[in-house]
Amino acid sequence: MPKPEKHVFVCTQSRPAGHPRPSCSQKGCAEVFEEFLAQLQRRNLFDKVQVTATGCMGPCSEGPSVLVYPEGVMYGGLGKDDVATVFDEHLVGGEPVQRLFMAPEFWG
Ligand code: FES
């Protein structure tokens, strides 16, 4: 398998009801993850981009959280409709989408 140019980690963490800490699952991460997979397939970028579901990465209150390497860019509060933009501008275009960045107090 070739080493991907970009590796996207989508937090899909859930927590039991009543847990004191929020989770990306409560904020719709499942549909964001599905959209990353759908866009990956539609664009046939399997040899360049890898998408991986992951557990909690820390900034739970600001999710859904999505981390992209090699840049180490964290997106926060990402919605399904933002995924195409991340592909167009960052994963394909090479320019991280600053307006969608996690706030620096959570990832900086
Ligand atoms: S639950 Fe997603 S970052 Fe913590």
Q: Which residues line ligand 1 (CB under 6 A)?
A: 11, 13, 23-24, 56-60, 63, 65
* Nearest atom of ligand 1 to the alpha carbon of 60: 4
SS3 86: helix
Cis peptide bond N-terminal to 104, omega within 30: no
Model confidence pLDDT, tens digit, residues 6-17: 999 999 999 999
The secondary structure of residue 94, as a DSSP letter, is: S
1 has pLDDT over 80? no
Q: What is the pLDDT of residue 108?
A: 85
- In order, the DSSP letters of 11-74 are E-----TT-SS--TGGGTHHHHHHHHHHHHHHHT-TTTEEEEEE---S-GGG-S-EEEETTTEE
Distance 95 CA to ligand 1 centre (A): 24
Distance 56 CA to ligand 1 centre (A): 4
Model confidence pLDDT, tens digit, residues 46-91: 999 999 999 999 999 999 999 999 999 999 999 999 999 999 999 9
Q: What is the pLDDT of residue 100?
A: 98
Domain boundary assignment for the chain: 6-100
Count the alpha carbons within 13 Å of 37 in the hemisphere toward its beta carbon: 9
d(CA 2, CA 82): 27
> CB count, 10 Å around CB of 18?
5
- Determine whether domain 6-100 maps to CATH 3.40.30.10: yes
